[in-house]
Amino acid sequence: VAAQAAIALPDLLLGLWLTGVATAAVLTLLAHHRGVARFGRLSAKGETLRAAHNGLGPAMIGVLRPRLVLPADFEARFDAREQALILAHEAHHARFGDTRINGLVSVVCCLNWFNPLVHLAAFLLRVDQELACDAAVVERFPGERRTYAQALLKSQLACVPLPLGCTWPGRSPHLLQERLTMLAFKTPGRTRLLAGGALVATLCLGTAAVAWA
């Protein structure tokens, strides 16, 4: 009896894990489908897609073939300078394959549905993606910080969660304040970047050494 119980426990845990993975995958796909459905009927306009509703977007959707979705009132809500800055932001997402990264992260979250630290890391990764795009836009247009901040405020009208896309995660005032505050910082130089990279690498190696020991 003890031997049978010992064999049954791993099978039970495996079944529970597989059930959780399947449930998490279904919930992720449903959440993405609901997010895309909120745009309404998408119409192609050149290389981009246009939402049927106002105030939704911009956002990147699609893992294998990322497409930019612009709100129906894109030209009315944003002026010419703001439009250029927003397109530069989304182009940075496309250039570095952020939608593909988010798709892979969604798979990791499904496999680790029981681990809250993985879900927290996925959330923070999305925040860092947006901050990295902001930094790239500010570096390219250093004199347009105020205009870019205004565009960010206008783009917060509605939140569209897209697990398999790129959009600002949530409408938290704290996150928006952090994003706007970062715009006031000067772009770090090469020396500062190298020092930061060396510090992060040292911390990672030290933590790995302690864990291995």
pLDDT tens per residue, range 144-193: 999 999 988 888 656 678 888 888 765 567 778 888 888 888 777 788 88
Contact by Cβ (8 Å): 81, 141: no
Name the most confidently modeled range: 29-33, 41-45, 52-56, 155-159.
Answer: 29-33
**Token output for 161:** 């969660």
pLDDT tens per residue, range 86-105: 999 999 999 999 999 999 99
Between CA 152 and CA 37, with CA 126 as vertex, the angle to 5 degrees is: 75
**Token output for 87:** 């397109």
Q: What is the pLDDT of residue 84?
A: 95
Q: DSSP letter for 49, please.
A: E
Q: Which residue has the higher pLDDT, 129 or 171?
A: 129
pLDDT tens per residue, range 58-74: 889 988 888 999 988 89
